[in-house]
Amino acid sequence: MRRTIQWTVVLLTLGVIFSGCETKTTNIDIDNDKGEAVMALDYRDFQGAATDMIESLLASGAVDKKDGTRYVLVVSRIINDTMQHVDTDQLVKKIRVGLLQSGKVVVTTAVGIDGAEDKMSMKTREELRGNVEFDQKTVAGKGSMVAPDLSLSGKILQRNIRVDKKTQRVEYYFQMSLTDIKTGLAYWEDERIVAKRGSNKSVAW
């Protein structure tokens, strides 16, 4: 009997101990996140870099078309040269949204470095043009697509530097260029650096 009570107490104690060690899941307030920094790139780094890039681009006047119409932008190659699996859209999408909201730029999804981003524009033309099931007045006519004026390209670089036995520094470089497609000239370029210092045990990939 005494042995049963002892085992019950032990099991209950273990339950209490392990439930206490569990990290609670909470939603992060992304507008006021004072959480610990991490050695890898997180959403705060992408948001900071994107904000700086949009501000720099709008302030430069490079997207101001003199006749008051909007420039058509195509997103070119954004190279991920880091040790992390980064979806470059984490950066580019924010920049695209910011530029679209500026009212100065519209982005084409019909052209892309690896083919159209949204293949539907071309597919509907190929499949619906001449198809008797569809009212041809509602099918996009020939020559109705708009070619891009500007191309946005960039690169994200990573450098790992060992400071001492315990410490390492990781540097991330966000580099972007805006090229005028007609002339091939880059009208705007900028770079933002995000640097982190932390334990050698932390893995930045």
Partner 1 sequence: MRFIGFIAFAVLLFSGCSKSVEPSDEIVKVISSCGSSTIVVTDIKGRKKSDGFMQAQVSGENKSNSYMLLEYQVVWFDKDGFKIESLLSKWKTTPAYANQPFQINAISPNTKATTFRLYIKSDKEVICDEQYSGQ
Cβ contact 178:152 at 8 Å: yes
Per-residue binding string, partner 1, 91-130, x by CB under 8 A, is ---x--xx--xxxx--------------------------
CB 89 within 8 Å of CB 50: no
Q: Which secondary structure element, helix H or strand E, spans residue 171, and what is its range?
A: strand 167-180
Question: Is the CB of 83 or the CB of 195 nearer to partner 1?
Answer: 195
Near partner 1 by CB under 8 A: residue from 29, 114, 133, 164? 29
Taking CB under 8 A as the rule, does residue 61 contact partner 1? Answer: yes
Cβ at position 106, least distance to partner 1 in Å: 13
Q: Rounded to whole angstroms, how far apart are CA atoms 170 and 200?
A: 10
Q: Which residues contact residue 58 at a Cβ distance below 8 angstroms, ignoring those fewer than 6 apart?
A: 98, 102, 104
In whole angstroms, the minimum distance from the beta carbon of 70 to partner 1 comes to 12
> How many residues touch partner 1 (CB under 8 A)?
34
The DSSP bridge partners found for residue 80 are: 156
Cβ atoms 174, 195 nearer than 8 A: no
Q: Which stretch binds partner 1 (CB under 8 A): 46-54, 126-134, 144-152, 173-181?
A: 46-54
Residues 62-91 vs partner 1: string with x where CB under 8 A? --x---------------------------
Sole binder of partner 1 in the list 1, 4, 24, 144 (CB under 8 A):
24
User: Of 7, 13, 118, 203, which one interacts with partner 1 (CB under 8 A)?
Assistant: 13
Q: Is 201 exposed, middle or buried (0-12, 13-18, 19+ CB in 10 A)?
A: exposed
Q: Are 69 and 200 in contact (CB under 8 A)?
A: no
Q: How many residues in total does the chain contain? A: 205
d(CA 80, CA 23): 32
What is the binding site for partner 1 (CB under 8 A)? 6, 9-10, 13, 16-17, 20-24, 26, 29, 31-32, 34-35, 47-48, 50-51, 54-55, 58-59, 61, 64, 94, 97-98, 101-104
